[in-house]
Amino acid sequence: MDTQVKDSNIKIVGSPAGIEGPGFMATSIDKVVGLARKNSIWPLPFATSCCGIEFMATMAAHYDLGRFGAERLSFSPRQADLLMVMGTIAKKMAPILKQVYLQMAEPRWVLSMGACASSGGIFDTYSVLQGIDRIIPVDVYVPGCPPRPEQVIDGILKIQDLIQNESIRRRESPQYKAMLAEYGIE
| Cα(97)–Cα(104) distance, integer angstroms | 11
Q: Does residue 146 touch ligand SF4 according to CB under 6 A?
A: yes
88 binds ligand SF4 (CB under 6 A): yes
146 close to 121: Cβ distance less than 8 angstroms: no
**Contact flag: residue 87 with ligand SF4 (CB under 6 A):** yes
- Sequence-ordered list of residues with C-beta below 8 angstroms from that of 178, at least 6 positions apart, any chain: none
Half-sphere exposure of 47 (CA within 13 A, CB side): 16
Residue 145, Ramachandran bin (φ over 0: left; ψ between -120 and 50: alpha; else beta): beta
- Report the alpha-carbon distance of residue 99 to residue 102 in Å, rounded: 5
Q: Does 129 bind ligand SF4 (CB under 6 A)?
A: no
Strands 43-47 and 3-4: unpaired
* Residue among 49 and 164 whose Cβ is closer to ligand SF4: 49
Pick from 49, 130, 151, 164: which binds ligand SF4 (CB under 6 A)?
Answer: 49
DSSP state of 9: S
Under rule CB under 6 A, how many of the chain's residues touch ligand SF4? 11
From the CB of 36, what's the least distance to ligand SF4, in Å?
32
Question: Which residue stretch of 18-26, 38-46, 100-108, 110-118 sits at the interface with ligand SF4 (rule: CB under 6 A)?
Answer: 110-118
Write each residue from 50 to 79 as x if it is in contact with ligand SF4 (CB under 6 A), else as -, in one continuous string. Answer: xx----------------------------
Kindly list the residues in this chain that would bind ligand SF4 in the complex (CB under 6 A). Answer: 49-51, 87-88, 114-116, 121, 145-146
